[in-house]
Structure 1
Amino acid sequence: MDSTPISPTAANTAKDAASVSKPATGHLRENKVLESSSASRLLILQSMVPLATNLVSSQLEALSNRLAEQLFKLSDQAVRPEEARISLDAHQLIKRNSTSFYRLVASQINAALSREVSVFNTRKRVKKDQQYLDNTAQTYEEMEGKILLRNASHALEVLNAEPLVMLNTLIGRILNRIPIDVSQNPFRPEIFVKAVHQAWMELDPNPASHLLVLRLLQPAVFLQLHPILDEINQALMARGIRPDGDDLADASTGNSVYLPVQKSFNMDPYLQDKLKRVFSGQIELPYTDPDHGLSSLAMVSDTLTNQLDHDAEEDHADKASIDQQFFEDLREMQIRYAETESNTTQLRSRLHKVLHSPSAQKLSLLERNTIELLARMFDYIFADPSLGSDMKNMIAQLQIPIVRVVLFDRDFFFRESHPARTLLDMLGSSGIVLDQESSNPDPLLGVIGDVIERVQSEFDEHIDLFSDVVSDLESYLKEEESKAQMAISQPVQTALSAEKMRIAREFAEHDVAIRVETGEVAGFLEVFLEEQWIRILTIAHSVKEEKPHALENALKTMDDLIWSLKPKNSPEERKELIAKLPAMLTLLNAWLNAIRWDEPDRVLFFSKLAERHAAMARAPLELSPRRQLEIAVNIAQRASNRRLERFVHDKNVQEEDEASKEVAALERGMWLAFSEDAEQVTRYKLAWISPKRGSFIFANRQGDQAFSITNTDLEAKYRAGTVSTILANSLVDRALSHALRDLAV
C-alpha cells in the first residue's frame, strides 16, 4: 500500500495522472474478460437453458388452463359445426391429458433451446418476413401455419421488447460485438411458440386441431415470457456480463449486501448544478459564527478582502505556507477534540468555528466553500432522527479528519466510492440498525469506536487510512452477517416446508376448481372433492418432484370418478363404466386410506356412489332428446355460475392497495420498523424471502431473534400502520442535498 502523504500541490497532478492511466488499465482488463467470455460463451448460454425450462414448467398448468378455456369458448361460439366439434374434442383432450401436455411442452422447449444455443453463433441474419415465409411451403395449410407463427411471434416480441433488447445486448457482449438481432437470439419468442405448438401436435394426432391451436397462441393465452427473459438477463449479469460493457464493475466499492439495502439515490439535476457552481467559484457560501450569530462573508474584513484582491500574486506565493499553518491548526483541533470528546453534550458542527480561526482568513473562496458545505452537511447529520446519540457522537469526531481529506480531494462530493464518504455512509447505515433496546452495549458500537479512535490518532494526510478502516468494518459486518445467516437456517427450512405445502394446496384447489367449474360434477361428489380429494392432491403435488406418477395417478383417479357419474347415453358407455368400476374403486379406496379418512362420512359417500352407479346401469338404453337437452342446459347453467363466482373471487384477490405494493417491493436486506405499541419500535432485517414470496423471515442483526410471517399477515400489518419500511439511502447523499437545497443561486 502506498502511504505517501498527499500534498496540496501534488493532489491535482496525481489526480490527472490517475485519470489518464485508468482508462488504459480498464481497457486491458475488459479485453481479458471478454476474451474469456467469448471462449466459454456456449457454456454460459447452455447454462441458461435449464433455467428457462424450469421457469416455463412453473407456468405450464396456467397455460394449459387458459388454452383449454379458449378451446371451450371457441366450441361454444364457432359458426361452423365442424370447427365447434374440433374445438370441443381438443378441449376434452387437454383436460384429460394435462400432465402429458406439461411433459411434452417442457421437453420440446428444452430441446429447442438447446438446439438454438448450439448453433446461434453461426446463424446469419435474415429478413424478418423471410424467416417465416420461405419457399418450402407447398400447401395452403403450411403457408397459413407460417403466417400464424409469424403473427404470434411478432405480438410476443412487441410485448416483451424491453427484456429482449437487454438480452440481445448481453449476448452481444458475450460474443464481443454489437447487440445481436432478435432473429439470432436463441431465446426469442418464436422458439417458445414453435415448441408449444409442436408439443400440441404430438399430443393430438388430429391435423384439424393443429392450426386451430396455433391461432389461439396469443399473448393473453401464451406463456408469460417477460419474467422468463428477465430471469435470464439477471442470471447473465450475475455472471459478470454487463450491458454497458463494464464487466469488471466492482460491487464492493459501495455499501455491501450485508448492510441495509441501499436504494438508488439520484441528486436533483438542479442541486447538481449548484454543487458544480459552488466548486467553480460562481457561488459564495455564507457562513455563521455559532457563538455570535453573525452571518455572511461580510464578517471577513474589508481590509482582508482588499488585500486578497490587490495582492493576488503575493498571496499565491505564500499559499503553501498559509495552507500549512491552517492544516497545523486543524491537526491541533483534532487532537484537542479527541481528548475532550467524552465531555461533549451538545452536538453541532465545529466547522463553522474553523472558518473563523486566524489561519483560515486567507483561505481561497473554493476552500471556504468546501468547509462551509461540510459544516452544513454535519448539521444535517446531527439532526437526523434515524441516528441515535451514540452514533452521532462517533460521527462528530470525524469532522476535522474529513475536512483535511476533502481539502486534499474534493472527489468526496462527486464519487460515491470515495473511502471517507464510504465510511460516513457505513456509519449512517450501521446507526440505523444498532441494537438500542438491549441492556448490554451493542458490540458493533465498540467496533465503530475503535475505527473512530484509529482515525483520530493515526490520520495524517494519508487517505489510505480510510480505506483500511472501511475494510476492517466491512470484515466485521460480513462475519456478523455470516453468523446471522447460520442462525436462521432452521427457520428457513421450516418456512420452505410450510410454503411447499401451501403451494401444493393451491395447486390442488385449482385442480379441483377447474373440474367443478365445468358444471358436470354431481353435488355430493363436488363436496367430496373439495373436502377430501384436495388433501390427496396436496400430498401428490408436494412429492411430484420425487414421485411424478403419484400426481398423475391422483388426477386420473379423480377424472375417472367424475366421468363415472356423467350420463351414459349408449350401451357401450355403460359397458365401459361397468368394466372400469372395480379398478377405479380400488384406487379410490387406496388413496382414501393414505389420508386415513375413516369417518362415517366415508361410508355415506360410497353408499351414494353405489346408488348412482346402479341407477346408471338400470337407466333406459337411450335417453330422449328432450332429456339430453335438459341435462346439457343444467350443466351449462352450473358452469356459468361457477365461472362467475371464480371471476368475482379472482378480481377481489387481484386488487392491489398500497400495503400489497409495499410488500411486493420488499427485497432481502431491507430493514423494517415493527411497532406493536406507540412506545416500543423494534427494527428487524428482512433476512429471507421464500421463492414464491409467500413468507418472509425477519431477524435482528445477529440473527438470534428471528420470526416468520406470511405475505398476507405482513400486508395486514402495513395496513394497520404497525410496520414501516426503513429506507437506507446514503447518509452523505441526503446531507449534501439538504446542504444545497436552500442555497440561493
Structure 2
Amino acid sequence: MDTNPIQNASKKSEFSNSSRLLILQGLVPIATNLVSSQLEAFSGRLTEALFKLADQTLRPEEASHSFQAYQMLKRNSTTFYRLVAGQVNAALAKEVSTVNIRKKAKPGEKQDFSLVTFEEMENKVLLGNLSQALEVSNAEQLVALNTRIGHVLRRTPISVAQNPFRPEVFIQAVYHAWMEFDAMPETHLLVLRLLQPEIFLQLTPILQELNNAMVERGILPDLTEAYRDNQRKKGPVRSDDIADKNPHLHNKLKNMFSPSAAGNSPLAQGGHGNNQRGDLQWTEGGTPGAAGNMQGRQDTITIDRQFFDYLTTIQRAAPVQFVPGSFDTAPLRQLKAQAPSDGLTHIDQNTIELLARIFDFVFNDPAIPGDIKGLISQLQIPTLKVALMDKDFFFKESHPARVLIDTLAKSSILLSADAGGEDPLYQVIEGIVERVQQEFDQQIDLFSDVVTDLEAFLKEEEQKSEEAISKPVAEALQQEKMRLAREFAENDVALRVETGEVAGFLESFLLNQWIRILTIAHSVKDQKPHALENALKTMDDLIWSLKPKNSAEERKELVSKLPSMLTLLNAWLNAIKWDEPERVLFFSKLAERHAAIARAPLEFSPRRQLEIAVNIAQRASERRLSRHAQGQLDKPSDEWMELVETLERGVWVDFARSNGTTTRFKLAWVSPKRTRYIFTNRQGHDAFSISGDQLVAKFREGAAVQVVAETVVDRALEAALQDPTE
C-alpha cells in the first residue's frame, strides 16, 4: 500500500497549500486498495442478489434482465473488479483535487427539474437514500474524518458534503463502473435498486483506515481535545452548577442555607444563634466567604474567628483516625455537639451535619479500600473549613475540595489489595493528605494544586504502562490480523462451495489446504496485493477445470490451461509445505477426473444436462442452509457480549484466581476489530492478552467483574438529602 505521503511528511499542526493536497492525495491509494480487497466479496453479494431477483420476481422482463446481469457478472467478475477500482480511484482523485475550490450552493438557489426524466429522478432518489443510510451507519468515522480533513484545510469543521471520501463518491463510482461494465440500460436501474447497505462495499474499515493514516501523520491523534477546543470556540462550557442537573436537589440546598430557613431545616439541631456577634466576616468573591452563584444565600458569610481557629488547631495537631463502625462519634458531629448553643448559626449547623452525612456515605462505600478511607477521614476538618467559607462546595461539581475527595476515591481502585503503604500511589495520596492538613488555612486553590499533582503522577504511570505493553500489543495485532485473514479465506471458499459446483474431493481440499493458502495471501495483501489475486484465480481455475465440458472448445481450453494451472497449484502447496501422502492421492484423483472430462461424450443429452443442473442446485441449497444454520449457532447474544463490546481502555476488571483470590487489572488496549484485549496492572506489568470470546466467558461465569468508579460526592450528597418519605 502506497502511504509514503502520509508517513514521511513532517508532523506539524499547520500545512502549506501544497502539503495539504499531498496529505489528501496520499489517502486516495489507501482507500482504493481497501476497496479492491473487498471487491470479490461485494461482487459475490451482488451476484447472489441478481440471481435471487431473477428467481423471485413476477415480471418476466425483469427476471430476464436480472438473470443476464447475473450471468455476465459471474463470468466476468475480474473485469468488474478492474472497472470499480478504476472508477473509485478516479473519483477520489478528482474530489481531492477540487476540495479547496468546491463552490457552496447559494441560499435559496434551486435546481430546475422540469426537464429531468422519471428514470433520472428515480436514480437521484435511490442514490440519495443509499448515501444517507451509509452516512448514518458510518457517522462516527465520518465525523472523525471530517474533523481531521477540516483541520488540514484550516476550516474545521467541514460537513459530510465537503468530505472527498464521503459515501456518495463510492456509490457514484460503483454505479458508473456498472454502466461501463454492462451497456444494457435496463440493468442500470435494476442494479441501483439492489445496492443496499448490506450488499454495498463495507465503508467502516475504509474510513477507519483513513483516520488511522491521518493519525500516523500526526493529525489530531486526540479528537477529544479537538472537540473540546471547538466547544471553547463556540462559547462557554455548560455550567456544572447542580441547578442545571438536579433542580430538586438544588432547591433543597438553597433552602437549607437560606437565612430565612432557621428552624425549618431537617438537618439543623440545637440553637441557631442570632448572628449578632463579633464574628470574622469574609465577603463575596474567590476568597473565604464567597457566596458563589446560589440565589437566596447571604451576600456575606460570617464565621466565628475563635471557632475557626479552633478548627485549625485540631487540623494540625494530629490526624483524625478513621475507626470503622464508629460513625456516630465522628469528629464533625462531636464539634457540633460541643459548640455553645449560640456559637453556631443554623447555616453552620446544617453545613456540619450535611458534611458529616457525606463522609458517612464515603466511609460506607465498599468500593473504597479501608486504607484510603482512613486517609480521606483526615480531610474532614479541612473540608469543613472550606464548606463553612464557601457553600459552592455543595453546589458545584468542579469545586476544588470536592474534586479532591472524588479523585482520591476514584484513584483508590488502582491500588492492589495487598500493596499497602509500599505502593507509590498510596504514598502520593498520603503525602497529599498530609500537605492539606498542614498547609490549608483559607487558600482553596491548595486543593486544586494537590489534585494536579495526583493527576500528574497517574499520567506518568499511564505513559510508562503504554511503553511496557508495546510488545504484547504488537503480538496481539498480529494474532488479530491472522484471525481476520483466516475469516476472509474461509468466506472466499464458502462462497464457491455454496454454488454446488465444487466436486466432493475438491471441496475437502479447499477446506483443509487452500484456506491455509488464502490466509497467507490475505495477511500479506497490503505488501503483495497480487498474491491474493493469484491465489483466488488459481482456485477458480481449479474449480472450473472439474466442471463438465459440453463442447469441443471447452475441452480444448481445459487442455491448454492445465499445465500453467498445475504449476501454480504446486507452487502454492509448496509454500505451505504440504508434503503428506494425501497430496499424491489428491493429484492422482485430479488427473483421473481431468481425463474423464476429456473422454466424455462431445454433447450431453438434455436428460443428462438436467440431472447435472438438479444435482448442482440441490448441493447449493444444502450448502447455503448449512452455512446459515452455522451462522445462527455462532451468534449467541447476551448481556455479557454487549458488556465486552462496550468496554473502553482504562476500565478496571477484577479477575478471580483459582486459589480464590482476586486480582485487579486495567484494560490497557483493545484491538481495532475488538478480537483481542490486553490487561495489565497499574504499572503496565503482568500483561496478558485474552480473546473477546474468552473474556465474555469469564464475565458470564463471574470470573471477571468490572469495577465501576463513580463520583462519590454526588451520590453522597443525594443520599444525605434524601427525604425518608420520598
TM-score (ref. length: structure 1): 0.80
Deviations 1:547-601 (A, max 9, x none): 1111110000001101111111111111111110000000000000111101111
Distance 1:451 1:428 in 2: 13
1:391 paired residue number: 372
Match of 1:76 among 25, 36, 55: 55
In the alignment, residue 376 of structure 2 is paired with which amino acid? Answer: I
Alignment partner of 1:708 is 2:683: no
Q: Say whether the 8 Å CA contact 1:71–1:91 is kept in structure 2.
A: no
1:682 paired residue number: 663
Shift of the 623–125 alpha-carbon distance from structure 1 to 2, 3 Å rule, reads: farther
Shift of the 554–220 alpha-carbon distance from structure 1 to 2, 3 Å rule, reads: closer
Shift of 1:632: 1.1
1:67 paired residue number: 46
Shift of the 430–60 alpha-carbon distance from structure 1 to 2, 3 Å rule, reads: farther
Q: Say whether the 8 Å CA contact 1:501–1:538 is kept in structure 2.
A: yes
Match of 2:633 among 652, 674, 677: 652
Deviations 1:14-47 (A, max 9, x none): xxxxxxxxxxxxxxxxxxxxx9999999779949
**Pairwise mapping of residues 569-648 of structure 1 onto structure 2 (< 5 A)?**
569-648=550-629
Q: Say whether the 8 Å CA contact 1:663–1:715 is kept in structure 2.
A: yes
Deviations 1:392-450 (A, max 9, x none): 11111111111222333333334333322222222112211202235882121111111
1:245 paired residue number: 231
Q: CA RMSD in A?
A: 4.2
Match of 1:530 among 511, 515, 518: 511
Shift of the 736–350 alpha-carbon distance from structure 1 to 2, 3 Å rule, reads: same
Alignment partner of 1:546 is 2:527: yes
Question: Secondary structure of the residue that 1:455 maps to in structure 2?
Answer: helix
Deviations 1:460-496 (A, max 9, x none): 2112222221222122212211222222111111111
Shift of 1:451: 1.1
Shift of 1:675: 1.4
Shift of 1:126: 7.9
Alignment partner of 1:191 is 2:177: no
Distance 1:697 1:285 in 2: 58
In the alignment, residue 359 of structure 2 is paired with which amino acid? Answer: F
Shift of the 725–179 alpha-carbon distance from structure 1 to 2, 3 Å rule, reads: same
Runs of at least 5 residues in structure 1 that lack an aligned partner in the other structure: 1-34, 255-265, 288-294
Distance 2:505 2:109 in 1: 56
Deviations 1:317-376 (A, max 9, x none): 9997743222112111212342x64x9676634222232342684444444333322211
Runs of at least 5 residues in structure 2 that lack an aligned partner in the other structure: 1-12, 212-219, 283-299
Shift of 1:55: 7.7
In the alignment, residue 270 of structure 2 is paired with which amino acid? Answer: M
Question: Secondary structure of the residue that 1:416 maps to in structure 2?
Answer: coil
Q: Say whether the 8 Å CA contact 2:178–2:188 is kept in structure 1.
A: yes
In the alignment, residue 69 of structure 1 is paired with which amino acid? Answer: E
**Pairwise mapping of residues 62-461 of structure 1 onto structure 2 (< 5 A)?**
62-78=41-57, 79-80=60-61, 82-93=64-75, 95-96=77-78, 100=82, 103-104=85-86, 106-108=88-90, 110-111=92-93, 113-115=95-97, 117-120=99-102, 122-125=103-106, 130=111, 133=113, 135=115, 144-157=119-132, 160=135, 167=143, 189-203=167-181, 209-223=187-201, 237-238=223-224, 240-241=226-227, 245-247=231-233, 270-280=248-258, 297-300=268-271, 305=272, 308=274, 322-338=303-319, 341=321, 348=327, 349-358=330-339, 361-438=342-419, 441-461=422-442
The number of equivalent residue pairs is: 676
Shift of 1:659: 1.1
Distance 1:360 1:112 in 2: 83
Give the stretch that moved more between structures: 63-72 or 179-188: 179-188
Distance 2:269 2:27 in 1: 70
Q: Say whether the 8 Å CA contact 1:674–1:681 is kept in structure 2.
A: yes
Question: Secondary structure of the residue that 1:654 maps to in structure 2?
Answer: coil
In the alignment, residue 151 of structure 1 is paired with which amino acid? Answer: L
Shift of the 634–115 alpha-carbon distance from structure 1 to 2, 3 Å rule, reads: farther
Shift of the 390–58 alpha-carbon distance from structure 1 to 2, 3 Å rule, reads: farther
Shift of the 64–326 alpha-carbon distance from structure 1 to 2, 3 Å rule, reads: farther
Q: Say whether the 8 Å CA contact 1:72–1:91 is kept in structure 2.
A: no
In the alignment, residue 129 of structure 2 is paired with which amino acid? Answer: H
Question: Secondary structure of the residue that 1:729 maps to in structure 2?
Answer: coil
2:289 paired residue number: none
Question: Secondary structure of the residue that 2:602 maps to in structure 1?
Answer: coil
Question: Secondary structure of the residue that 1:119 maps to in structure 2?
Answer: coil
Shift of the 322–167 alpha-carbon distance from structure 1 to 2, 3 Å rule, reads: closer
Distance 1:570 1:423 in 2: 85
Distance 1:48 1:418 in 2: 47
Percent identical across equivalent pairs? 50
Match of 2:495 among 481, 490, 514: 514
In the alignment, residue 370 of structure 2 is paired with which amino acid? Answer: S
Shift of the 386–238 alpha-carbon distance from structure 1 to 2, 3 Å rule, reads: closer
Distance 2:193 2:107 in 1: 24
Shift of the 436–284 alpha-carbon distance from structure 1 to 2, 3 Å rule, reads: farther
Distance 1:271 1:317 in 2: 28
Question: Secondary structure of the residue that 1:655 maps to in structure 2?
Answer: coil
Higher relative contact order (CA 8 A, sep 6+): 1
Shift of the 658–150 alpha-carbon distance from structure 1 to 2, 3 Å rule, reads: same
Give the stretch that moved more between structures: 645-654 or 351-360: 351-360
In the alignment, residue 462 of structure 1 is paired with which amino acid? Answer: Q
Match of 1:468 among 428, 442, 449: 449
Shift of the 250–434 alpha-carbon distance from structure 1 to 2, 3 Å rule, reads: farther
Deviations 1:203-236 (A, max 9, x none): 5566654333222112342345678789999989
Q: Say whether the 8 Å CA contact 1:537–1:555 is kept in structure 2.
A: yes
